[in-house]
Amino acid sequence: MLALNGGPKVRERPYPRWPEYDETESLALIRALEQGDWSRHGGKEVQAFEREFAELHAAPAALAVTNGSHALELALELAGVEPGEEVLVPAYTFVATSTAVQRRGAVPVPVDVDPDTFCLDPAALDAVATDRTRAVIPVHIGGHVADMDAITAWAGRRGVRVIQDAAQAHGATWRGQGLGALGSVATFSFQSSKVLTAGEGGALLLPDDDTYENAWTRHNCGRTRELRLATASSNFRISEFTAAVLRAQLARFPAQNARRATRYTELAAALSTVPGIRLQGRDPRCTTTPHYMTTFVLDQDELGGVDRDTVALALLMEGIPAFGSYPPLHRTDAFWTGPTGDVRRAELAERCPNAERVGRDGVMIPHQALLGTRRDVEDIATALTKVLTELPRTGTTPAA
Ligand SMILES: *Cc1c(COP(=O)(O)O)cnc(C)c1O
């Protein structure tokens, strides 16, 4: 019997806690405390972290900021996106991607995703671009890198700026290259769910030193290093404490990534025996992914109709960390608080069938489930098989 209905759980033991930490982080915090300067002005931690983070991604420079949302807002400013202009975003993403555009007064234009990789579909760009399109934001969803070859080439032809939303893709590579070597700005988040975290925080990778200096001024209340009040901006600086913890976490990151890669291979093998689900695909040119989320989509035809939210809840009751995927942007209330341009929800739903499907039938398993043992990931497949075998069928594919 399903744990959802009072039966025994597949597992009682919890998955590894996230984040992992020990006295390394304690000592880093004390080091930041005792150096006496707790801001980047005078302290050493923020600047050292920026160098280390840039190096991890083969970027010319990195700037640490308050969070991933602010990193996107700053990147849009650097790209020269003005109020009323349009920015192409994948319809399937965490809502912060489009909210950042709206907070600049610009219009996010949802674009459908690839049915296999769930990342922005480059083939869908032409149909939605206009002469007001200023930028495109590919999101490396779940840590899988979007088709950067096609998107960068398309943007180059159209004179459109590229901003990579890499909030889920720390350490990812494309054709063996770090995300900072792809010629565009990339933004990151260090919020507590991400694969590199200090509870909160963010960063930008910048393609050259001029852009870094411009970004530096803009994250510093618009004040240059020479203390000139150059532009109306805000304060997006992080404290030395955040950077000290990030540096300690960064030292753990390669080993964690290797562990997740091993566990993911085992998980994918185990899930391949479960009928009626399809795992997020990975473009072979995405040579490294941190596996932020393992996402699979329920095949409603093969399963005969199951309710996704019930599947996720049933998994959770069996002891597996699982939750429903992101709703497509146009199915959130946030999106319609605007600006949205002259478009209706039904139109976007029709234009983005793949985003609709992942948003409706997708289930996500967070990365800490990949930090334990082989047995831990095999339990996921065992529980999923149990849930999909025993859950009642609705008999119909849920309406869009
Ligand atoms: C987490 C996330 C953000 C926002 O980052 P915060 O640090 O939470 O502001 C933006 N985009 C994506 C895809 C994210 O996953």
Question: What are the structural domains, with CATH classification, of the chain?
Answer: 23-249 (3.40.640.10), 253-390 (3.90.1150.10)
Q: Is the CB of 189 under 6 A from ligand 1?
A: yes
Nearest CA to ligand 1 atom 5: 68
- Quick one: pLDDT at residue 328? 98
- Going from the Cα of 96 to the center of ligand 1, the distance in angstroms, rounded, reads 6
Is the model's pLDDT at 233 over the cut of 80? yes
Does the Cβ of 167 fall within 6 Å of ligand 1? yes
Q: Tokens 């949802």 — which residue? A: 110
In this prediction, residue 394 carries a pLDDT of 82
Q: Average pLDDT for residues 115-130, to the nearest whole number?
A: 98
- Which whole number is the average pLDDT over 328-351? 97
**pLDDT, mean of residues 308-334:** 98
67 C-beta closer than 6 A to ligand 1: yes
pLDDT in tens, 191-206: 999 999 999 999 999 9
Burial of 347 (0-12, 13-18, 19+ CB in 10 A): exposed
- Ligand 1 in reach of 94 Cβ (< 6 A): yes
Average pLDDT, the chain: 97
For a ligand 1 pocket test, name from 119, 170, 191, 292 the mutation site with the most ligand atoms within 8 angstroms of its C-beta.
191
- Return d(Cα 106, Cα 87) in angstroms, integer: 7
The CA 201 to ligand 1 mean position distance, Å, reads: 10
Which pTM was predicted?
Answer: 0.98
The C-alpha atoms of residue 267 and residue 169 are separated, in whole angstroms, by 19
Residue 27: pLDDT over 60? yes
In this prediction, residue 398 carries a pLDDT of: 56
User: Across residues 332-337, what is the average pLDDT?
Assistant: 97
**Is residue 287 lining ligand 1, measured as CB closer than 6 Å?**
no
Strands 177-178 vs 293-298: parallel, antiparallel or unpaired: unpaired
Which ligand 1 atom is nearest residue 189's CA? Answer: 7
Q: Is the CB of 242 under 6 A from ligand 1?
A: no
Whether 220 lines ligand 1, by a CB cut-off of 6 Å, is no
Ligand 1 centroid distance, CA of 390 (Å): 35
Q: Is the CB of 168 under 6 A from ligand 1?
A: yes
Report the residue among 72, 97, 140 best suited for mutation to probe ligand 1: largest number of ligand atoms under 8 A from its CB.
97
Distance CA 207, CA 192 (A): 27
Tell me whether residue 310 is exposed, middle or buried, using C-beta atoms within 10 angstroms of its C-beta: 0 to 12, 13 to 18, 19 or more.
middle
Q: Is 202 in the pocket of ligand 1 (CB under 6 A)?
A: yes
pLDDT given at position 395: 81
Does the C-beta of 191 come closer than 6 Å to ligand 1? yes
Please tell me the predicted confidence (pLDDT) of residue 229: 97
Task: Please tell me the distance between residue 163's alpha carbon and the centre of ligand 1 in angstroms.
Answer: 14
pLDDT tens-digit readout, 73-111: 999 999 999 999 999 999 999 999 999 999 999 999 999
Q: Which of 89, 99, 168 most suits a substitution to test ligand 1, by most atoms within 8 Å of the C-beta? A: 168
96 lines ligand 1 (CB under 6 A): yes
pLDDT of 400 above 60: no
**How much is the pLDDT for 364?**
98
- Please, are residues 13 and 319 in contact by the beta-carbon 8 Å criterion? yes
- Cβ–ligand 1 distance for 97 under 6 Å, the answer yes
Q: What is the pLDDT of residue 108?
A: 98
How far away, in angstroms, is 293 Cα from ligand 1 center?
Answer: 13
d(CA 314, CA 171): 33
Nearest atom, ligand 1, residue 141 CA = 13
Q: What is the pLDDT of residues 206-220, one digit of tens each?
A: 999 999 999 999 999
**pLDDT given at position 399:** 53
Stretch 218-236: mean pLDDT, rounded?
97
Q: What is the pLDDT of residues 372-389, one digit of tens each?
A: 999 999 999 999 999 999
The per-residue pLDDT for range 240-283, each reduced to its tens digit, is 999 999 999 999 999 999 999 999 999 999 999 999 999 999 99
Task: Give the Cα separation of 381 and 386 in Å (integer).
Answer: 9
The two beta strands, 202-206 and 185-189, are: antiparallel
Give the pLDDT mean for 158-164: 98
State mean pLDDT over 35-42: 96
User: How many A from CA of 8 to the centre of ligand 1?
Assistant: 36
From the alpha carbon of 139, which atom of ligand 1 is closest? 13
Q: Is the pLDDT of residue 397 over 80?
A: no
CA distance 279 to 362: 9
**Contact at 8 Å (CB) between 225 and 216?**
yes
